[in-house]
Structure 1
Amino acid sequence: MPAPALPRRPLRATFQVLLGLTLLFAGTSHLTTARQEFRAQVPTWVPLDPDVVVVASGIVELTLGLALVLAWRYPWRALVGGVVALFFVAIFPGNISQLVTHTDAFGLDTDTARVVRLFFQPVLVLWALWSTGAWRAGRAWWRGRH
């Protein structure tokens, strides 16, 4: 039996689905057209073959993107949003590595461009938490425990 539909604010639901579509696009590009670009972002200290990391992160992005698109009206959307936010935090070291190693990728060919990009990662985290209701659900859970 499917989970019951929950009332949603249309703007949040729209942004949740847009984030899901963005992750589906990024995940697809990990596995196809931008594979080399993503390899350039894998920090040298990661003890895995960069291609394995790119493929694995692409699969994770596809999975999370699909979950966001499908979860837009179900109670587990907040959990999905929290996992997506954690994923964005987990891949942040790749963005830092690109800056520190002065690696050109995705048209980011100056340190200034790479620094500006760093500011977009927190925006993605907040986008995931806000659009799915994870921020609100986390606060309610925290209040209930204290």
Structure 2
Amino acid sequence: MRPPEIRRASRFWWRVPLMAAYGFIGVVHLATPDAFLPIMPDWVPEPRRVVIVTGLCELAGVLGLAWAPARRWAGIGLALYAVCVFPANLKHAFEGITVPGLPDSWWYHAPRLAFQPVFVWWALYAAGIIDWPWRARSGR
């Protein structure tokens, strides 16, 4: 395999678990939107509707990652999504809000908060928008 083919195969294996994670949590957002209401920041208008829309966005991102013509837009959308939900993750962590089914300790919250930028990178890499850190170096 030549480097572009290897990179293309690599992106596929990065996409699969990302799609599984966003697919699962998207379904959870739609099935139990009220469970997420306590972690919604007070400044978010119509929080229940926002939770439902986020679930739909996650599922749309999964479909977009699966369909090559939409892949770049899906990667951008999921990266922006990861940035937009960060305030809810912060509220959840710092206000000690209990959400059924989720751990309620810093052993859960610290890695989750630290991992948020990784989700941004992951969406962009899996969609073929960025190559970092595996891009080919020119002149070597």
TM class, shorter-length: 0.7 to 0.9
Alignment of 1:53 onto 2:81 = no
Q: Normalising by structure 1, report the TM-score.
A: 0.74
Distance in 1, matches of 2:17 and 2:55, equals 17
Aligned to 1:143: none
Question: Does residue 1:126 correspond to 2:121, yes or no?
Answer: yes
Q: Note the residue ranges of structure 1 that are not aligned, 5 or more in a row.
A: 1-5, 137-146
Distance in structure 2 (CA, Å) of the matches to 1:127 and 1:54:
22
Alpha-carbon separation, structure 1, partners of 2:15 and 2:104: 31
CA distances 1:55-114 after superposition (whole Å, capped 9, x unpaired): 11111111111111223xx4x523321221111111111101112221122423124432
CA contact under 8 A between 2:60 and 2:74: conserved in structure 1? no
* Matched positions, count: 127
Q: Partner residue of 1:15?
A: 14
Q: Structure 2 counterpart of 1:118, which letter? A: L
In 2, the alpha carbon distance for the partners of 1:112 and 1:45 equals 27
Residue of structure 1 equivalent to 2:134: none
Q: Which residue of 1 aligns with 2:97?
A: 103
Instruction: Give the match for residue 24 of structure 1.
Output: 23
Percent identity of equivalent pairs: 33
CA distance in structure 2 between the partners assigned to 1:79 and 1:51 by the alignment: 25
Query: Among residues 105, 110, 116, which one is paired with 2:111 in the alignment?
Result: 116
* Structure 2 unmatched runs, 5+: 132-140
Map of 2:136 onto structure 1: none
Q: Does 1:78 align with 2:72?
A: yes
Distance (whole Å) between structure 2 residues aligned to residue 67 and residue 77 of structure 1: 5
Q: 1:111 to 1:21 in 2, by over 3 A?
A: closer
State the distance in 1 between where 2:67 and 2:16 align.
8
Give the whole-Å Cα distance in 2 for the aligned partners of 1:39 and 1:65.
23
